[in-house]
Amino acid sequence: MNHLMKKVCLILFIFLVEWTYAQPALDTIPSKILNENRLVSVSLPASYKRSREQKYPLLIVLDAEYMFDAFHGPLSYANYWDDLPEMIIVGIHQNRNKERESDCKIEPSTGLPEEEGANFFEFLGGELITYLQKQYRVGSFKIVSGVGLTGAFTNFYLYKDQPIFNAYISFGQELMPEMETRVPARLAVIPQNIFYYHSSADGDLPETQKRLAQMDSLMNPIKKPNIFYRYDKFKDASHYSQVLHGVPNALYHIFSVYQPISITEYKEKLLILNKGYVDYLTNKYQTIETTFGMKFNIRASDFRAVEAAIVSNNAFDELKKLSELARKHYPKAMLADYLLAVYYERTGDNKKAIKSFNNAFFLTPIGDLTKDMMMDRANSLK
């Protein structure tokens, strides 16, 4: 490859990276409650301008000076593989004028926000979200995250009758008074779905580790289908390095059902079914829509995973139902006719199988289905 070609390839690569991953932008948000403008970082999804009707989950990150990139990088990487959804990320800068301490100010006797802390609580939970909903296409699912003092502060939103946030991510929380008992008590009675992730590390203060372990011991007995809880304790990690360990764990914990059907899910949940393979698939995507407010076509790879489970268990009649579902989601693609062809092939009607493979040949390839494959499958049955 000559020098000019290498240079062209490098420029194209840089362009694609910039196009694929939206770069953060600084913004100032006017606040009447705080009586000042607050600096924030905002990253919009790469598809934001193309998908003009799509709404996205909102992730609010406190301590944005060092926490924003800890989320932005893993989310960009995982979204490339469709493991995690695109989302609007908003980081609140708090170390410019030592806002962090005043933002998290509490009344020691009650353990609740007071003065500047009470104002920041109202700003974050009301004024900021209202502003973001007007400026951007914010969906119904909202996440908040912090570390140390700010991580503990996010718990105050659980104290509300109707928590504003659906998911909470915190690292090495410096718990406010009675928080180790109050948070489990609230989660035990909250009726809506709540995702709660927190962690500690060997590098946290001994008192911090002790209180977080106590909170975990009270969390574990809460066996409610609407509470999705995880606690990680990282060995040989510092108070701040635990963030790099915990961010992927937290995000994959929250969005486990969003991910494409993995080998583990296929073996442990799908393959063991005696029936209802197509129902499993539709229920998975209904759960995604209900939980995260996101509606999109069933992935072609998930259709193929269900096809494999049906064939492995000789439940061939479900292939017709799967084909009908594929036609609904991908009317111009070859997937539906391919699945119908497999049904006829497996039930011994080679004539109809050949016809369906030939029909698929003239439609749009999708996933790993190609025109050559359709021709080869048809010819093999002649």
- List, for residues 40-97, the tens digit of each pLDDT value: 999 999 999 998 889 999 999 999 999 999 999 999 999 999 999 999 999 999 976 6
Phi/psi at 19 (nearest 5 deg)?
Answer: -75, -35
Please state, in angstroms and as integers, the Cα–Cα distance from residue 317 to each residue in 314, 324, 343, following that order. Answer: 9, 12, 7
- What's the alpha-carbon Rg for the chain, to the nearest Å? 25
Structure confidence at residue 97 (pLDDT): 60
**Six token digits for residue 136:** 């951007």
- How many CB atoms within 10 Å of residue 64? 23
- How many CB atoms within 10 Å of residue 332? 10
The amino acid sitting at 62 is: L
Kindly indicate the confidence band of residue 9, based on its pLDDT and cuts at 50, 70 and 90: very low
Structure confidence at residue 95 (pLDDT): 79
C-alpha 50/C-alpha 70 separation (Å) is 26
Kindly indicate the confidence band of residue 20, based on its pLDDT and cuts at 50, 70 and 90: very low
Please state, in angstroms and as integers, the Cα–Cα distance from residue 74 to each residue in 234, 240, 293, 375, following that order. Answer: 19, 16, 22, 41
Please state, in angstroms and as integers, the Cα–Cα distance from residue 200 to each residue in 157, 176, 197, 239, following that order. Answer: 21, 16, 11, 7
Dihedral over alpha carbons 136, 138, 142, 148 (to 10 degrees): -10
- Sign for the CA dihedral angle at 205, 172, 93, 66 comes to positive
Q: What is the pLDDT of residues 224-233, one digit of tens each?
A: 999 999 999 9
Structure confidence at residue 99 (pLDDT): 85
Higher-pLDDT residue of 5 and 263 is 263
DSSP string, 76-101: HHHHHTTSS---EEEEE--SSSSHHH
Q: What is the mean pLDDT of residues 333-337?
A: 98
* Range with lowest mean pLDDT among 12-26, 132-146, 292-306: 12-26
Q: Which helix (H) or strand (E) holds 296?
A: none
H-assigned helices in 220-349: 242-254, 263-265, 277-292, 300-312, 317-329, 335-346
Length of the chain: 382
Kindly indicate the confidence band of residue 138, based on its pLDDT and cuts at 50, 70 and 90: very high
Q: Average model confidence (pLDDT) for the chain?
A: 93
Kindly indicate the confidence band of residue 3, based on its pLDDT and cuts at 50, 70 and 90: very low
Structure confidence at residue 356 (pLDDT): 98
Structure confidence at residue 24 (pLDDT): 83
Q: Which helix (H) or strand (E) holds 274?
A: none
